[in-house]
Amino acid sequence: MPVLLDSTYHCGPMQIAPKLITWYEANKRDLPWRHTREPYAVWLSEVILQQTRVDQGMAYYLKFLQLFPTVFDLAAASEDAVLKAWQGLGYYSRARNLHATAKLVVTEYGGQFPQTAAELKSLKGIGEYTAAAIASFCYGENIPVMDGNVLRVAARLTAMGEPIDKPTGRGHVMAFLWEWIPSENPDTFNQAIMEFGALQCTPRNPGCSECVFSSECEARRQGSVDRLPFKQGKTAVSHVWMYYAVITCGDQWLVRRRSHSGIWKGLYDFPSADVAEPAEVDEILSGYLTGLVRQAAFQLLDVSEEFKHVLSHRVVHARFMRINVQEVFEVPDDMRWVTRENLRELGVSRLVDRYLQQLLES
């Protein structure tokens, strides 16, 4: 049940900002992107950290800066190189948008990022949060940021009962943030409230007993901390079964570049039959695979155990059928033959990478 919003309650700026910033200066983590106001580096960190833990994203951030030190380097890189560098982070549309935006910044803006959140939002892959973060952290624009940590902190401080996954709830949070943010140092405030949500006002087991807002927090007063923030509903999870044909001919491997839309667009994998329910391997071989290899003689070597891969709204159940053919055959435009050495250089999904690691190491 949602917690009723007490519309008469407001955390004024004198109650929130000073305490929050003091807490931040004493407790903030030493993160590399906090030591720069260079828009390219800040933008890179924000895109990488979307739906990614800081400890995981750190290595990718440093790797990207090493491979692509400037926006010009990223723009000049091939999509394959960018996707390979991104491999393992998931949500590959972020990498494709990152690459497209780098090209746009170079060609349309001469390599200089726009300086306002309103202008930044016109760039591909930059939404409300990322635009506000870059504009605030790099250019000092007085604009609040609102990510998952901020939504949680605001919802608990105000005991806000509207769902944060709906426009009404997010609108209420933004109104509170505009009330709290100090015009003299909005960047520090924004960093502070995000860090507070990440370290202190955590989703589970928040540190309420030692919280600097123990006297102001309305959720603590009402005993509703563990029920906030409130979300109205989640998207149903679907399942798909994928049967990959790992076809080899000597040192040649048949790979496919996923050109259709989807989270793995632009990555490489193997030809596959995707079905809505489990199927017998023999059915796949007699249907999809026979049509692919046509007259080429093939031999089924083995079939892997199931590899389960959980995405945000989909669960993939994958099995890999290792197949040997006597000679290479003509393939569609989205497929090609590569050597084993070339295979290691291609950007693949985490699911395929897990299988390849197991196969190639054995």
280 a catalytic residue: no
Instruction: Give 296 or 60, the one with higher predicted confidence.
Output: 60
**Range scoring the smallest mean pLDDT among 32-41, 100-109, 233-242:** 233-242
Residue 168, Ramachandran bin (φ over 0: left; ψ between -120 and 50: alpha; else beta): alpha
pLDDT in tens, 38-96: 999 999 999 999 878 898 999 999 999 999 999 999 999 999 999 999 988 887 888 89
Determine the average pLDDT of the residues in 301-311.
88
* Percent of the chain residues past pLDDT 70, beyond the cut: 94
Instruction: Give 220 or 7, the one with higher predicted confidence.
Output: 220
Domains of the chain listed by start with CATH number: 13-227 (1.10.340.30), 238-361 (3.90.79.10)
pLDDT in tens, 134-179: 999 999 999 999 999 999 999 999 988 888 888 888 999 999 999 9
- pLDDT of residue 310 exceeding 60, the answer is yes
Q: What is the pLDDT of residue 3?
A: 37
> For residues 14 and 180, what is the distance between their CA atoms, to the nearest angstrom?
8
Q: What is the pLDDT of residue 71?
A: 96
Q: What is the pLDDT of residue 329?
A: 87
> For residues 105 and 74, what is the distance between their CA atoms, to the nearest angstrom?
11
Q: What is the pLDDT of residue 6?
A: 45
Q: What is the mean pLDDT of the chain?
A: 88
- pLDDT of residue 362 exceeding 60, the answer is yes
Determine the average pLDDT of the residues in 106-131.
92
Query: Residue 272 carries which side chain, given as an amino acid letter?
Result: S
- pLDDT of residue 261 exceeding 70, the answer is no
- pLDDT of residue 2 exceeding 80, the answer is no
CA distances (Å), origin 23, targets 4, 70, 196 = 29, 34, 8
CA distances (Å), origin 255, targets 251, 292, 300, 348, 356 = 13, 13, 17, 10, 12
Instruction: Give 38 or 6, the one with higher predicted confidence.
Output: 38
Q: What is the pLDDT of residue 235?
A: 66
Q: One of 25, 46, 216, 327 is an active-site residue; which one? A: 46
Confidence of residue 199 (pLDDT cuts 50, 70, 90): very high
> For residues 49 and 44, what is the distance between their CA atoms, to the nearest angstrom?
9
- b or e along 182-214 (b: 16 or more beta carbons within 10 Å of the residue's beta carbon)? beebbbbbbbbbbbbbbbbbeeeebebeebbbe
Confidence of residue 4 (pLDDT cuts 50, 70, 90): very low
Give the residues across from 242 on adjacent strands: 274, 318
Tokens coding 47:
């895109």
Residue appearing with tokens 């105000």:
158
Residue 158, Ramachandran bin (φ over 0: left; ψ between -120 and 50: alpha; else beta): alpha
Q: What is the pLDDT of residue 177?
A: 93
Q: Is the peptide bond before 229 cis (omega within 30 degrees of 0)?
A: yes
